Amino acid sequence: MPTYLADILASHRARAGADVRDPDELAVLAGRLPAPRDFVGALTVPGLSCIAEIKRRSPSKGALDPDLDPAVMAKEYEAGGAACLSVLTDHEYFGGSSEDLALAHGASRLPVLRKDFTVQECDVVDARLMGADAVLLIAAALSDPELVAFGARAASLGLAALVEVHDEAELDRALSAGATLVGVNQRDLRTFSVDTDRAVALARAIPAHVVAVAESGIRDGFDAKRLADAGYDAILVGETLVRSTMRTASLATLIGHTVAER
């Protein structure tokens, strides 16, 4: 059975082990940049919001759109009503780059999530330096002390931290680490299989004060409404939108559904 997460993390941690940079020194540079855009605020307007993703390929599906133009796609997503963007910056497994993020950020007014495998504090600061407004922290990839430290580093930089979980145990860890923005990924990162009931099953365990995002396996308006009915404030959609030939129209079917109370 493939172990995608283990392989990806081994690669990222090997690079991190050779990184001699000081995150405090990097943070000084990051502090000179304009203030980040309000990622959480963009997700808490009435109706279901969408974080629209820009990615070239994935380990399980291969090429999605390897020649995509991040600036063009960002403008399409903004025109379609996306609340935020998510940009893959991992190159080895997803074909992304920091340049993709910078181009997307510069082409729209939307807050941008750096979608990558954060394994050290320098990764958090790097997200800010490349122009991101939010950073992804994957509970399955991090220890409890790392979740706390990376979340604190993000807060000190004005970055939102989207803490991704896959089950109730990881959700408990995220909440104990102080997470107020939680993503439930319906994709198992060990096998990359999708369970479309995962987010609905976990919704009631997410406290009302936490901004809840459902991720992966969202194909159409029916899926989006089902997640809004479960109480999710937002959805993160990648493959469906990347493959669409009418991205603005596809987005229109995903957003605006009334969000039920959790």
Cα–Cα distance, 39 to 87 (Å, whole number): 14
Coil vs helix vs strand at 185: strand
**Angle 184-157-171 (CA atoms, 0-180°, nearest 5)?**
20
**Number of alpha carbons in the 13 Å side-chain half-sphere of residue 245:** 0
CA distance to 148, 153, 211, 233, 241, per residue, from 86 (Å):
22, 20, 16, 16, 12
Question: Measured between alpha carbons, how far is 48 from 96 in angstroms, rounded to an integer?
Answer: 27
| Residues catalogued as catalytic | 53, 55, 115, 164, 185, 215-216
Q: Are 124 and 157 in contact (CB under 8 A)?
A: yes
| Contact in structure between 48 and 233 (CB atoms under 8 Å) | yes
**Tokens 């009915």 — which residue?**
229
Query: What does the block give as tokens for 74?
Result: 């960002």
Hey, what amino acid is at 158? Answer: G
Which tokens belong to 49?
């919001």
E strand or H helix that includes residue 208: none
Token pair in block for residue 172: 């408990």
Length of the chain (residues): 262
Q: Which residue has the tokens 């995002």?
A: 213
